[in-house]
Amino acid sequence: MPPSFAITELLIVLTASFCSLKLRKCYPFAAIGIILFGLAALIGVYRFLSGEVEQLASIHKYFSQAGALLGLILITKEIILAQASKAVQISIEKAGYAIIIIALFFVNIFHSIIIHTFILCALVSVFFACRLAIKDNVKKLFFFSIMSLMPLNLIFVRNSEFLSQIMSWHVFHAIVAAWIYGIYYILNSSSPSIS
């Protein structure tokens, strides 16, 4: 794998850093979730620039998959909290902690179905993001488009038959960065979950 992979991994790191800083006060769970995506990409930057491509492959894969799944759960939790009443928010937060613990256990036992689980969780996040804009059909369509980027990216771009391996990974990384910025936009344009 060429060192050029570090360029689009760095794009994810920079986007995640910006978005997590912007969201950290009003949306702390989403900020942590986004940081997990950035951390996986940072490992990728080091992996490809250091030349330790094979040595760090398993660590990079683990953080990319486990971190992404946990990060997506945290982001989805925040999207749900953003539309919940104050009374319901406490229950969601408690349930969210249980889901995080289960997810951590899950990713360490069932490595082979992490991608499928991630896609399922991504589809759940699409549904709840659309609910944030329930009274505005144009906004709903826009939120749907943003949140759909990730599952479509995993299914059609990551191992695309129409792109070379190098190009498909570059496009994949660029779409991940766009999706992260899209999450920031969605939450930033919604009422904050905490004041």
Query: What backbone torsions phi and psi does residue 163 show, to the nearest 5 degrees?
Result: -120, 155
Residue 20 contacts residue 169 (beta carbons within 8 Å): no
Residue 127 contacts residue 83 (beta carbons within 8 Å): no
Residues 6+ apart with CB under 8 A from 16: 34, 35, 37, 38, 41, 177, 180
On the 0-12 / 13-18 / 19+ scale of CB atoms within 10 A, 163 is middle
Q: What pTM did the predictor assign?
A: 0.88
32 pLDDT above the threshold of 50: yes
pLDDT by residue (tens digit) across 135-189? 788 989 999 999 999 999 999 998 888 888 889 999 999 999 999 999 999 999 8
Residue with the two structure tokens 């986004």: 34
pLDDT by residue (tens digit) across 55-75? 999 999 989 988 899 999 999
Q: What is the overall mean pLDDT for the chain? A: 87
